[in-house]
Structures are given as C-alpha cells and as structure tokens.
Amino acid sequence: VLLDGIGQLASADVVRLGRQMASALSAAHRKNVIHRDLKPDNLMLVADPDIPGGERVKILDFGIAKLAEGLSGAASVTDSNLVMGTPAYMAPEQCKGAKLVTDRSDVYSLGVIFYQMLAGRPPFIADAAGALLIMQVTETVPPLAQFAQDAHPALSNLIAAMLAKEPTVRPAMETVQAE
C-alpha cells in the first residue's frame, strides 16, 4: 500500500512511521546519498509483524538521487542548475536549482510529508507547478495547528523546524530520527 492517500494520522502513527523514514534516510545520508524526490508516492507500507505497528515503510525511487561530496549542510557541486523533484514536496533551495540541494533538502521534504500525514494535506496547494515553486520559496508554512489541532506539540515543533526556509537551520536527519 502506498502512503499516498491515507488521510490524517494520529501523532503516534506519524512518530512510528516517521522514525522509520528518518532512519532509512539517515542511512542514505551517511553514504552521501540525497533522495531529492521524497513524496508519498515514493513511500510504501509493507506488512512486517516483527516491528511495532506491524508495518514497515520502504522508500522507493532513488531515480534522481544524488551523491553528495559532503553532508555538512553546504551545497554540493552538480553539473546542472535544473529544477528536479515534485514541487509540493521540494525544499526552497531545491526549487531554485539542483546544485543547491543538500541532505537538509530531504529533511524539508520529509517535513512536508509529516505535515501532510497530520493535516491531511501538504502545506502549500496550487493548480500549477510554478506557483508551488514560488510558494515553497517565498511563503510562510501555515501553522500545522490550523489543520491538525490534535497534533502533539513536540511533533508540531519538530515539523516546523524541518520546514525552515533556511537549510542550515533545519535539523539533521539523525536529529529528526531521535526526536
């Protein structure tokens, strides 16, 4: 079952599934791999009776993943300034071009997914991809409490940090996993 279309989840479910996603992405980041296209369509829930909740998240489609020279929060060099990804889930720096993508871009995308899991919708909605790109770069993320009043405050705070416009302010994926 794909994670896309599951609607709103309770904070406990977001934490359980989110920890799995962050763990997998932390492992990728330790190998200097940045996914660059995290979105619900690239997440699959599979049965796994050996873990709490009985299901495991698998991250799919590393097709536009990138090997980074280092994951210190500094942008790595690429040969292109192309915009690659899915606009509703792209970090502001990714919206500006591929050469600006870092591991913190994946943190932002995962923050959008967490937001959507709790709110039942991503932070920004528009009819055109260009409008979404502009919103990601320029607009303030609507407070999660506006759409998910029951979200646990600590989780809401973590998501707000993950959705910071400035990549160096976002937590590392290992921090997301721990929190």
**Residue 73 φ/ψ region, left for φ over 0, alpha for ψ in the -120 to 50 degree band, beta for the rest:** left
Judge whether 37 counts as a catalytic residue: yes
Residue 44, strand partner residues: 2, 58
Please identify which residue in the block is written with the tokens 């990138």.
Answer: 66
Q: Tell me, what DSSP letter sits at residue 141?
A: P
Task: Kindly name the residue from 37, 48, 50, 150 that is annotated as catalytic.
Answer: 37
CB 166 within 8 A of CB 107: no
Tokens of 130: 């260009």
**β-strand pairing of 33-34 with 66-67:** antiparallel
Closest CA to 60 of 39, 45, 33, 42: 42
Residue 170 makes CB contacts below 8 A (sequence gap 6+) with: 104, 107, 108, 111, 161, 162, 163, 164
Active site residues: 37
